[in-house]
Amino acid sequence: MAFLQQQPALCLGFDVAKDTIVVSDGNPRTACTIANRVGAVRAFLKRARPDFILCEPTGGYELCLLDEAIRAGIACHRVDLTRFKGFIRSLGAIGKSDALDAALLCAYGRERWAGLPLRRAPNQHETQLKLLVRRRQELLALKQAEQNRSKSPTYRPLTASFKAVIAAVQRQIVAIEAAIAATIEQSADLARRAAILTSMNGVGKTSAACLLALLPELGSMSRRQAAALAGVAPHPNDSGTKKGYRKTRGGRPDVRTVLYMPALRAAAGNGEFAAYYKSLTANGKKPLVAIIAVMRKIVVTLNARLRDNIIPQS
């Protein structure tokens, strides 16, 4: 992950909506509004020439701004909403308006610029892979919902309908999985990274594709950052003489789901970390705690292998 090396001279906050973008240099009263269109965004960035811009995730409406900023060589960051809202609460701000939101984004960038990872230029294949993996997740959720409804006595007369929908969704899942495989094959970088991931016993092609899409930073982080981003890092809960129970929280839930299956394989006595799991339980660790520890071991190991471009010899 890349970060700014020096404090930006001009930081701007952008509150993005479907048709418009409100821009602030920190003062809500002087905020201006531009159209959320390529031409308008490009002209504004050329005229304002900011050093650093920030925006919130808005379901894709912010991509025009981010793409134009990257094209112009301007550092940009899409904020994590949980952290940004925590920052707002720390200021005691309770008002809500587009101009105020843009000003707060600017203030966030001015204060936290050193620790905010910069967005990199999107890769066409990576973008496509992410869309496909997300779509596969949506289809799996839809299939599960239909299967659950079909088991209810209330819906028994509609069994044929449920079967038809489930079959149609399954066909779409198969098509999406074929498109995922094709997308990885078309990219030399994705194919190399997938080969490294699948070299680990227990990580299959589907899990590798999900990790590439949901955790693209893998291989460019420290071991602690990888564990935290995957949501498997234990956080301290101590106060004074109290030594509280360390719990994992935060991170990306979808990544945790992907890591869970290889960890279960280790718990069953298979895979690279079967011995590690066994040693943890032998030392008194609860099975669930041991599984989470294996998940952490998996993501840290994969991060190191991708960083060093290593495929272990079998």
Amino acid letter, 48: A
Q: 89 — phi, psi (to 5°)?
A: -65, -35
Residue 314: per-residue pLDDT: 60
Domain assignment of residue 268, yes or no: yes
Residue 248: per-residue pLDDT: 79
- Best CA proximity match to 170, nearest among 150, 138, 140, 133: 140
What's the token pair of residue 226? Answer: 């990888």
Q: Where among 149, 171, 186 does a domain terminate?
A: 186
Same domain, 158 and 138: yes
Residue 250: per-residue pLDDT: 79
Same domain, 99 and 164: no
Residue 242: per-residue pLDDT: 75
Same domain, 96 and 23: yes
- Report pLDDT digits (tens) over 101-113: 999 999 999 999 9
Same domain, 58 and 150: no
Residue 246: per-residue pLDDT: 74
pLDDT at 40 over 80: yes
Same domain, 23 and 93: yes
- Best CA proximity match to 101, nearest among 112, 91, 115: 91
Average pLDDT over residues 302-306: 95
Q: How far apart are CA 61 and CA 45, in angstroms?
A: 17
Same domain, 78 and 164: no
Q: Where among 115, 132, 152 does a domain terminate?
A: 115
Domain assignment of residue 170, yes or no: yes
Give pairs for 36-44: CB < 8 Å, separation 24+. 36/61, 36/64, 36/65, 37/64, 38/64, 38/68, 41/65, 41/68, 42/68, 42/71, 42/72
- Report pLDDT digits (tens) over 176-223: 999 999 999 999 999 999 999 999 988 999 999 999 999 998 998 899
Is residue 104 within 8 A of residue 13, CB to CB? The reply is yes
Same domain, 86 and 23: yes
Is residue 32 within 8 A of residue 22, CB to CB? The reply is yes
Domain assignment of residue 3, yes or no: no
Amino acid letter, 146: E
Domain assignment of residue 205, yes or no: no
Q: How far apart are CA 90 and CA 122, in angstroms?
A: 33
Same domain, 69 and 132: no
Same domain, 70 and 18: yes
Any idea what the CATH number is for the domain that residue 93 is in?
3.30.420.10
Domain assignment of residue 147, yes or no: yes
Least confident residue range of 83-97, 118-132, 244-258: 244-258
pTM, full prediction: 0.80
Residue 113: per-residue pLDDT: 95
Residue 251: per-residue pLDDT: 84
Average pLDDT over residues 241-266: 85
Same domain, 154 and 111: no
Domain total in the chain? 3
Residue 142: per-residue pLDDT: 96
Its domain, for residue 265, covers 213-237+247-308
Bridge partners, residue 34, by sequence: 21
Residue 153: per-residue pLDDT: 87
Average pLDDT over residues 71-97: 92
Helix and strand numbers (H, E) in the chain are 12, 9
Domain assignment of residue 199, yes or no: no
Domain assignment of residue 271, yes or no: yes
Question: Could you say which DSSP state residue 17 is in?
Answer: -
Domain assignment of residue 195, yes or no: no
The SS3 assignment for 190 reads helix
